[in-house]
Amino acid sequence: MNAFTVLFGFLLAAYLAMAVWREWHNAPAPRVPVWLAWTMLGLFIAFGALRNLPWYPFTLLAPH
């Protein structure tokens, strides 16, 4: 019931598929910038916390 987790799962699956494909073709592994990894972690934590707040704009993030 967490939309961000579903989206992040698709992105992670695409990254892993690309890494496997590049490994099979002897290409260098794709690199994820450090800032992107930290940003995704921050967004994941913020979304998880904000969707549980009982006030108006945050109630839109919660499942109905």
Q: How far apart are CA 54 and CA 13, in angstroms?
A: 32
The residue extents of the domains of the chain are 8-59
User: Taking 80 as the threshold, does the pLDDT of residue 64 lie above it?
Assistant: no
How many other β-carbons are positioned within 10 Å of the β-carbon of residue 55? 7
pLDDT, tens digit, 9 for 90 and up, residues 1-54: 778 888 889 988 999 999 999 999 999 878 888 998 899 899 989 988 888 888
pLDDT confidence of residue 57: 86
Here the tokens at position 44 are 């994941």
Does the model's pTM come out above 0.75? no
